[in-house]
Amino acid sequence: MESTIGAQAKLEVQAGEEQDTTAAIETAKATKPDAGLRSLDHYQHKLPPWRYAARQKLIPLIRWETYYVAKLQSAMRSPLLDSYFSITANLGTHTFFMIFLPILFWCGYTNLGRGMVHILASGVIFSGILKDMLCLPRPLSPPLRRISMSHSASLEYGFPSTHSTNAVSVVVYAVYMLRSLGAEINPTLKSSLEILSYCYATSIILGRLYCGMHGFFDVVIGSILGALLAIVQCLYGEAFDEFLFHGSSMTSVIVLLIILILVRIHPEPADDCPCFDDSVAFAGVMIGVEVGNWHYARTGSAWDLPVPATVPFELHTIGWLRTVARIMAGVVIIFAWREIMKPALLKYLPPLFRVVESFGLTLPRKFFVQASYVHRMIAKGIKLITCR
């Protein structure tokens, strides 16, 4: 496949040429191959030799397993399972975690919420690093049929499966927390929650195969990565919380710098893959949780048990009605905040970035436009049209 197919620029057009630009974007989308499927020359040219060599060793495995994943999908296909797996795949998306994670904090489970943020953010960041490092494609379609509610799946590399990483890490950590409660929880309830957790992980992992989004190699390595991240959180999570909450302001600065370093070392992909966007988004969540919890623990409004920065919450005092109303109001505020802040930040951050860039503090990325360049384009009356 020629590397020139679907070559796509971040389109620059004079005012009044929007219709022509839209048509050009649609043509580029229609002809652009999925991430990881350009010519070998493309990846040999774009990747460092060691990354290209690793990719070439793994590509035959991806091709070999595609046949067996297609047979599995063909044997299982049904309209009911199509709907089930495409819908439940949303339980591993950013939108689901954006709703689910704050509820843990609001309901007083700060220790569980912090642990979940740590493993999920780490899962997205480290799986994204591996994806953009190796640039391996998803299983071929055809013979597989892609079943997804997302329109951006073809933009992302396949190895490893971030869904599998997140699902396994959540389950390992959740089961660890359940078992650490000992006699504090009803045995029947504990067993039911454990079974539910195992079903969640199994459904997500099997769903990635069924929907043709990943191969066996993707989900196995993704699951191993998720288990390792959860084990690290189980072993060292409490020690990290002690380090953060009982340290000075410099402690939170150190944590912030470590997260920013992980963003900075994220490898450049050979294609315009959204993994870096996802990593930056979850890195922002992690920074917010660490700095926010550190500050909240010092306000006097938070409880210190079971961990500092615990939101005061007692179900028997608040009651179910007020609890549900509290959660619903919180979710509405989250979506309203996102809708307000996204356009506001798009307007006010570029001038700030231009100031930062003037000091030489830039984060050059191949598929992103620097703020100063955007400023020059706007000054010339040129319009930028995003392709996502």
Q: Which residues pair with 303 in a beta bridge?
A: 310
The yes-or-no answer on residue 316 being catalytic is no
Residue type, 123: G
Best CA proximity match to 122, nearest among 253, 324, 262: 262
* Sign of the C-alpha dihedral computed for residues 265, 112, 84 and 192 taken in this order: positive
CA distance 55 to 36: 10
CA distance 72 to 293: 46
The yes-or-no answer on residue 94 being catalytic is no
Best CA proximity match to 55, nearest among 209, 162, 144, 158: 158
For 15, 135, 208, 250, the CA distances from 155, given in Å and listed in that order, are 28, 11, 16, 39
For 108, 185, 189, 192, the CA distances from 182, given in Å and listed in that order, are 19, 7, 12, 15
CA distance 172 to 197: 9
The residue from 42, 118, 163, 266 that is catalytic is 163
The residue from 42, 118, 214, 266 that is catalytic is 214
Whether omega for the bond prior to residue 312 falls within 30 degrees of 0, making it cis, is: no
Asked if residues 170 and 227 have their Cβ atoms less than 8 Å apart, the reply is no
Catalytic residue set: 163, 214
